Amino acid sequence: MSIRDITLMGHPALMTPAAPVDDPLSEATTSLIEDMFDTMFAIGGVGIAAPQIGVSQRVIICLMRERKFSQPPERDDFTVFINPTLTPVDTEMVEGWEGCLSLPGMQGKVPRYKQIQYTATATDGSTLSGRAVGFPAVVLQHEADHLDGILYPMRMTDMSTLQYHDPVRRLTGRASMATSMEQEIDNELAQATDDDNREQEPPLS
């Protein structure tokens, strides 16, 4: 397995819909998933999509628990979704900051559905189904967009919020998933404290 280069905005794999995975149990699919995990953990993200390592296949990996700042996520905290389908539970939306590894150093405010229903194929070929709320729902929507050639600025309703996150991340080439993104959702769901008092969040994907 290996750490792959992240594709950047403008790469063909990011701009066109990805192809369905025909055989979730194949050696090629297993190898792809391992490379995605290796790359994601090397960067410190909370999700990744196959097109972000240049592979136009409908595979995403997402952190499926709320972020715990004192406890870095482990592999078991992530779920692999093969050929995922997402359906909004209702029309309620939340808006929060998002960043993307494929748009280094940038962030913008993006509206997302507060709750989504998902179905997908698991790595063992079984069917995954469930409901995601809050931070996991945002991660799922962000990653699934990559499978349809959609980057988060294409979801933004106020382009004046598209900005560099800070000079340090600009210089290091690291994209940001600003803590305020999760905080905006927390405010909707649990009246959490001001995001300015929270530490930095790793990027999504």
3-state secondary structure 43-96: HCCCEEEHHHHCCCECEEEEECCCCCCCCCCCHHHEEEEEEEEEEECCCCEEEE
Q: What is the DSSP string of 98-159?
A: EEETTEEEEEEEEEEESEEEEEEE-TTSPEEEEEEESHHHHHHHHHHHHTTT--GGGG-S-G
Q: How many CA atoms lie within 13 A of 157 on its CB side?
A: 7
According to the model, what pLDDT value does residue 67 have?
65
According to the model, what pLDDT value does residue 74 have?
87
- 199 sits in which H/E element: none
Residues 92-109 as b/e (b if ≥16 CB within 10 A, e otherwise) read eebbbbbbbbbbbbbbbb
Residue 114: give its domain's CATH number.
3.90.45.10
Is 67 part of a structural domain of the chain?
yes
Is 28 part of a structural domain of the chain?
yes
Is 120 part of a structural domain of the chain?
yes
Neighbours of 62 (CB within 10 A): 28
Within 8 A by CB and 6+ apart from 37, the residues are 1, 61, 75, 78
Is 146 part of a structural domain of the chain?
yes
Point out which residues pair with 79 in neighbouring strands: 62
Give the catalytic positions in this structure.
143
Q: What is the pLDDT along the chain (205 residues), one digit of tens a residue?
A: 799 999 999 999 999 999 999 999 999 999 999 999 999 999 888 999 999 999 999 999 999 987 665 677 889 999 999 999 999 999 999 999 999 999 988 999 999 999 999 999 999 999 999 999 999 999 999 999 999 999 999 999 999 999 997 643 444 444 334 344 444 444 544 443 344 333 445 456 6
Point out which residues pair with 117 in neighbouring strands: 87, 131
Query: Tokens standing for 189?
Result: 């769901």
Is 2 part of a structural domain of the chain?
no
Is 205 part of a structural domain of the chain?
no
Is 203 part of a structural domain of the chain?
no
According to the model, what pLDDT value does residue 195 have?
44
Is 122 part of a structural domain of the chain?
yes
Q: What's the pTM value of the predicted model, to 2 decimals? A: 0.82
CA 171, CA 114: separation in Å to the nearest integer? 33
According to the model, what pLDDT value does residue 66 have?
73
- How many domains does the chain divide into? 1
Q: Which domain holds residue 77?
A: 12-197
**3-state DSSP assignment of residue 187:** helix
